[in-house]
Chain A
Amino acid sequence: MSDRPGISVLDRPNSYIGRTVERPNARRLVQGRGAFVDDMKLPRMVHLAFCRSPYAHAEVVSIDKAEAEALPGVIRVVTMEDLKDIMTPWVGVLDHLKGIKSAEQWPLANGKVHWQGEPVAAVVATSRAIAEDAADLVMVEYNELPPVTDMMTALDPETPVIHKELGDNLCFERNVDEGDVDKAFAEAAFVAEETMRFNRHTGVTMEPRAIICDYNPADEVLTLHMAVQCPHMSKNLYAKHLGLDENKVRVICKDVGGSFGIKIHTYSDEMAAGAITVLLGRPVKFVADRLESFVTDIHARDHVVKARMAFNAEGEITALDMDDVTGIGPYSVYPRTSGIEANQVVNLTGGPYKHRNYRCRARVVFLNKNVMCQYRGVGHPIAVAIAEHLIDRGAVALGLDPVEIRHRNFIPDDAYPYTAPSGAIYERQSHHQCLDKLVEMMDYKGLRAEQAALREKGIYRGIGFVSLVEVTNPSPAFYGVGGARIASQDGCTIRLDPTGGITCITGVTEQGQGTETIVAQIAASAVGVSMDNVRVITGDTDVVPYGGGTWASRGAGIGGEAALQAGKELRKNILKVAATILQSDPEALDIRDGAIIDADTGTERMPLSELGRIAYFRGDTLPHDVQPELVVTRHFVSRGFPFVFTNAAHACHVEVDIETGMVKLLKYWVVEDCGTVINPLLVEEQTRGGVVQGLGPALFEECLYSDEGQLQNGSMADYLVPMAAEMPDIVVGHVETPTATSELGAKGVGEAGTAGAPGAVMNAINDALGSFNVSLADMPFTPEKVLRALGKV
């Protein structure tokens, strides 16, 4: 066989690893033949719309549903009273986030509403339009309560407590104090200090959240057609809270119109849909409309961070000290909690650098706003922006180039594996190499010369850098140890079909990022067939191996490794059968392009279709002691390190109009190291998309709340998502440092772009305006904020 010593399966002839290949599932999507949840109709299906709270905080005095129920086409109006006996509430806490607390949450208002948009009553009707007509007719009497909307005063004794039973508005607090921070600051040559704001924003998946819940009372099976990242997690939660046999809950996830961390959480309206199908015994469809999305899809970030960084005279960071407050909603989101975001800020701030003195306090507070939870990049954009802003301030003060100061501070290449003062453990990173390559790619010297020349003409351009670490390939340390039934392992089953093709069935899921493609590439390479002969099946819990799905950039690293091991094992099994048929030695044979060949000469001996024919239909011709096993399942869980960190270096080039404050993005560069690159084009496009999802909140996106807790820009027209005309070209380069935790060596790449971009654009703007002695650190950088910083408004 070809993976004898020295020849990895990755280097096999005709390997697809490292090659750009087309995505097999793309053709149906370009023809409008995808299968999104809202495209489906089921017999007797009914539609849901919700009557939602217009207030951020209020008691529900009464609900009158008579007029709504009288409307022709309305089947039922459901309130919490109707659901209490058929389901249980949930609480978003995890054991390993010490002290985290939250209140019991129900699918519909249980006497009180805690944010604008919280579902109060569900209307079931024969069409969505009628359900909406009736939702307008549900008469709810509220008694308004004072809302808690300012995270900075949420913990003050005079502020009302949102959930009396919790005692205060503190959800979670974590403190780290490593080394001697005070001494380092006392001895510092320079201290950079800033209060930074990270705006609340949201995911705006193009396909809103969508679910069809279909309960069949005869066999007590609940089928959920969902746009979701983690089918098995949903299976568990619906069974648990509806009191159903988990074995009889099936989640089917076909095409998903973008997720980014939105479609991974427990949503009241979706749980209500699950309860209502059980109540009615017929399929119930709920598709959030865009206005509902803005007030119910999880929001992201919302931090105020006071941070300072100490430097010695050589520009080395000697300490980092910070205080982070995160404003979440009235609940910690179930089951992943709203504490993970702040936890990541604590874990990762200053990650690339070698300082040993680190103090951090992070507090997560409840507010009467929509819930906040894990969104693409979880905590990383904050962690990256804090350190990268402060290090740039140090560079300016100490007269160092931003590239040079980073090189002086990176963890030395020979120090790995390295444990950061936060406790994060890095297997191996390539910060120096990434930054060197970045500087070369972007023609840094040329840009600086151009910047100086244009400055003479009154044109203000700036260049901003960030270096970052990114959590990928999580082990059970992420959720499993905290008691959540969220799998960090994943499995892949590969079957040789009688045609000679293979079918891969995987627990990781496709949200558009290309999971199916890379699984196919890996399986094709490992078995020895062409991509044309690979089919990949994902998303159906009745079919796929138990797995975690899509989160924390794990698809390629975890799901890919499972596919690799399954493929290798299947190849072994195939060669055993082939050796019997061909009266040869398995060691002397190999599989290439769908045929058994002589390993040494490459001569074709038998197509796989012939082997399949014999194995499946003419087993009588094989010796009695040979039982072909042409289906193999392998699982993989990352061990050795809690997470496998990737790293990257970014640079952003902007021009600031100092008359209007408008920022024009000129260009963007990324050099990323996600270990083994399975498909360069997919890696680059994940990076580009991720960068734009970081540029958006840095310049445009913000959920604007009034002091009364009203979302003021909850429509596509008012909430500004990046559009084509304003986004820059993004150049992507690679450095490959494969992880030794798996044979494949792949790390994740889906989130690193989002992690770096806000910091990079912030640094670029500050670089452009350096001569004005301003420091912008309050995202998003709207034109008005820029002009205000310049003192022109």
Chain B
Amino acid sequence: MKAPSFEYAKAESVDEALELLGRFGDDAKVIAGGQSLVPALNMRLAGPSALIDIGAIGELRGIKLDGAVMRIGALTRHCEIMASGEIARHVPLLAKAVPNIAHEAIRNRGTIGGSLANADPAAEWPACSLALGAVMEIAGQNGRRKVSAADFFQGYYTTAIEPDEILIAIEFPVISADYRSAFMELSRRKGDYAMVGLAAHARVSGGVFNDVRLSFFNVADRPVLAVSAAAVLEGKEMSVQAVEQAQQALGDDLDPLGDLYCSPEYKIRLARVLTGRVLSQLAAG
């Protein structure tokens, strides 16, 4: 199981990376941490003509609080997010999600930008960015542009990033005091991709839910916001009845596909269980 042959070029700057992408063409792929790409290469599921290594571009690294925005460089590794006190304070959903990502040795190498650009529908970061309404900054030959998480994920392993573009950074809104986050996934084994997962974010004041965002993952070809369930909860207090109504409404929000180990019906069932558990967490603070 050795990767097929490909060329390699290391970029020192974003401009150089873009230039290299232009030069090698559509068959080239960008490599960041490589934690999803290299297995695909080794299994010969991917056969790029060249890899453009952006790992040395310092500009793409780091976590920076800028007013109401937490800007995370695309090359920031999962372990750096895990270790960040600022993230835990200002975007706690990310801190809650990150221990669920694979295992330490993967988190030490994998990057948030790599995960988002890979857009695995079972991955944690896409769901979190959708729950929080994150904005992706993308660089191309014609400059930089910003895309909301809602528009960024376009299907299985497909994003708004064009073949000649790279993801630069992700901007998360800093959480205000009356908002709460919860994250939960059900996986067969620690570190596995979730059977179903839920990244949730809501304003909870005086026990009342507002602006609830329930972002499910591994239920479709991309993360899904459960808008009907959220609408049911708007302005309601935590109660058995409210939870049941939200769980019921999920039928309108989700139409999961089955996978190797879970049927669509089972996934719906798990999504409902997660909804109940996550709402309890949100309510409890």
A residues apposed to B, CB below 8 Å: 128-129, 132-133, 136, 289-292, 659-660, 662, 700, 704, 712-713, 715, 717-718, 720, 722-726, 782-784, 787, 792-793
Contacts and interface: CB of A to CB of B under 8 A. Distances in A.
A717 to B, nearest CB: 8
Contact of A784 (B1, B190, B263): B263
Interface stretch (B86-94, B229-237, B264-272): B264-272
B260 interface: yes
Interface in B144-194: 186, 188-192
10 contacts: A290-B1, A660-B186, A712-B260, A717-B39, A725-B191, A726-B189, A783-B186, A784-B261, A787-B266, A792-B269
Given A704-B260, A712-B260, 12 more contacts: A129-B2, A133-B5, A289-B1, A700-B189, A720-B189, A720-B192, A722-B189, A723-B189, A782-B188, A782-B261, A784-B263, A792-B269
Nearest to B262: A784
Given A700-B189, A726-B189, A660 B270 contact: yes
Contacts of A660: 186, 270, 273
B64 interface: no
Contacts of A713: 260
Interface string B1-13: 1111100000000
B262 A132 contact: no
A721 to B, nearest CB: 9
A701 B261 CA distance: 11
Interface in B241-269: 260-263, 265-266, 269
Contact of A783 (B192, B195, B265): B195
Most chain B C-beta atoms within 10 Å of own C-beta, residue among A128, A712, A724, A783: A783
A725 B190 contact: yes
Interface of B: 1-5, 39, 43-44, 186, 188-192, 195, 260-263, 265-266, 269-270, 273
A532 B273 CA distance: 59
B273 A659 contact: yes
B43 A128 contact: no
A724 B265 CA distance: 30
A291 B261 contact: no
A556 B149 CA distance: 62
A717 B193 CA distance: 9
Nearest to B265: A793
Nearest to A699: B188
Contacts of B43: 291, 715
A196 to B, nearest CB: 21
Nearest to A700: B188
A761 to B, nearest CB: 15
B1 A132 contact: yes
For the complex of A and B, 7 pairs with smallest distance between CB atoms = A725-B190, A289-B1, A129-B2, A784-B266, A659-B273, A723-B189, A793-B265
Nearest to A291: B1
B260 A128 contact: no
A512 B129 CA distance: 47
A784 B264 CA distance: 11
A556 to B, nearest CB: 33
Of B2, B4, B43, the most chain A CB neighbours within 10 A belong to B2
A136 B43 CA distance: 12
Contacts of A133: 4-5
A411 to B, nearest CB: 39
A598 B260 CA distance: 71
Given A782-B261, A784-B263, A793 B269 contact: yes
B6 to A, nearest CB: 12
Nearest to B4: A133
Contacts of A704: 260
Contacts of A712: 260
A723 B191 contact: yes
A458 to B, nearest CB: 13
B188 A720 contact: yes
Contacts of B195: 783
A649 B261 CA distance: 32
Contact of A725 (B4, B44, B189, B273): B189
B136 to A, nearest CB: 27
Given A704-B260, A712-B260, A793-B269, A723 B1 contact: no
A132 B265 contact: no
A723 B262 contact: no
Contacts of B1: 132, 289-292
Contact of A128 (B2, B186, B261, B263): B2
A132 B2 contact: yes
B263 A793 contact: yes
A290 B263 CA distance: 27
B184 to A, nearest CB: 11
Contacts of B260: 704, 712-713, 718
Given A712-B260, A715-B43, A793 B189 contact: no
